[in-house]
Amino acid sequence: MKTKSFATLLALVSGIAGLSLGLIAAEKKAANKKPELKIDSTPVAAVKSNVVTSYADVLDPIRPAVVSVYSTKVVREQIPEFFRRQGYQGREQTQKGLGSGVIVSTDGYILTNNHVVEGADEVEVALNDERKFAAKVIGTDPKTDVAVLKIEGENLPAVTLADSGTLRVGDVVFAIGNPLGVGQTVTMGIVSATSRKVGILDEVQGYEDFIQTDAAINQGNSGGALIDARGRLVGINSAILSTSQGNIGIGFAIPINLASAIMHSLIETGTVARGYLGVSTTQVTPDLAEEFKLPKETKGVIVADMPADGPAAKAGLKRDDVITAINGRPVSTVEDLRLIVAQFTPGTKVTLTIIRDSKQETKEVTLGQRPDDVVASGEFLPGVHVEALTADLRREYRVNNDVEGIIVTGLDDNSPYQGIFARGVVIVSINRESVVDVNSARQLLRPGRNLAFIYYRGSFRYVPFNNSTR
């Protein structure tokens, strides 16, 4: 009986062991199973496509419109205050700069970078056909590094602008400019990224939405053209990231959609007035999405605060509203919101897509003007410092409440306008156009002879003056 039982037990143990070994072997076999791969062994040459052997025909019409920009400015050596009071002046030195630019209209408007012409006393443009022109600086925008020049000439070439919003990573692009002063040069690469923000303009609280490219960009390329494979302008080359100040394949260009919007504003008004929504926001994170009972995939920004008299508050937005889009353009980050709003002009009506109490709604908002774009004071003409009229200034200079304009609050000793303007003069109009702030006054100036209508010590009169500034 015991022998039979022992035999039965031995058989049962053997069976279990065999089953375990079988399962281990099966698991091992499954673990070693080869992955299923998608393989296309067809040679590249076998794919039916038109092989491009040259882009010369694409680039030939564009190259004449890419110009060299030469800037000159005179700087005076800094000397201690004590010596300045004794009448000593520092020596003057001439600094020269080189960059590139792109003619965007046959009447001579040119896009370039602000840093190419910043502070320049004279600007000269050289075309590829060896023609040279004196250029006028129409306006600059440090916050996007865009500048607009104007030349007067005949038979000027011009580029065709593309929609930079359609660019995709991998698109072929060409950088054209005058790197290191060697002459016009074309380099080729691809779009490496779009909507890149790298902090290059942080010092001026700028707006970055760069196209990143590996097309070689070097010093002197700034302000030149980034061209797509169809020969259209998609960007203005602006900067590089490098450890050696040379090209390492990380270059950045301002999208032409942004650059052209800035250009139109500078040409039409002389300044860049950016839209203002009037909200403080926080980016939606997974934790915040859970807290606000939002779907996990929600992207947007949460309204944290807003001034009671701002455009958003007037349109009915509330704290904790989640902004997900503006005019259909997705808003994923705080920087997205700031950049999109800034591309509209004040007074523009936009539609915000929001989520409130887990429900999607739309709100129509009329954008205001950014407070930091309103110039309350500044230098109107060389050595002539002006401010917007305030109640305190009216009392100080005894200006009636019905007088509107800007008031002269300072006049440098070496100003060429000594004897023409004086402290306390209210500039009411320039060339018979009303003045409302410093920006409008500057815009009304024209080269050569101008006419100011002023209020001073209780009376109005016309004052002619000459404007020699650019």
Residue 91: DSSP 8-state: P
DSSP-derived pairing of the beta strands 146-150 and 109-113: antiparallel
Catalytic-residue membership of 468: no
Catalytic residue among 68, 100, 141, 145, which? 145
According to the annotation, is 264 in a ligand binding site?
Answer: no
DSSP-derived pairing of the beta strands 448-456 and 459-467: antiparallel
Catalytic-residue membership of 115: yes
Could you give the C-alpha distances from 84 to 80, 87, 107, 243, 411, in angstroms and in order? 7, 5, 46, 40, 18
How is residue 147 written in tokens? Answer: 């500048």
**Cα distance between residue 252 and residue 241, in whole Å:** 8
Catalytic residue among 68, 100, 115, 192, which? 115
Residue 184: DSSP 8-state: -
According to the annotation, is 145 in a ligand binding site?
Answer: yes
Q: Which of 384, 165, 365, 362 is nearest to 255 (CA)?
A: 165
Query: Are the C-beta atoms of residues 302 and 320 closer than 8 Å to each other?
Result: yes
Catalytic-residue membership of 54: no
Cα 107 versus chain centre, distance:
24
According to the annotation, is 385 in a ligand binding site?
Answer: no
**Cα distance between residue 231 and residue 385, in whole Å:** 47
According to the annotation, is 257 in a ligand binding site?
Answer: no
Q: Which of 379, 160, 140, 396 is nearest to 271 (CA)?
A: 140
Query: Are the C-beta atoms of residues 175 and 221 closer than 8 Å to each other?
Result: yes
Q: Which of 353, 381, 382, 379 is nearest to 365 (CA)?
A: 353
Catalytic residue among 68, 71, 222, 238, which? 222
- The residues that are catalytic are 115, 145, 222
Q: Which residues are annotated as a binding site?
A: 115, 145, 220-222
Q: Which residues are annotated as a binding site for substrate?
A: 115, 145, 220-222
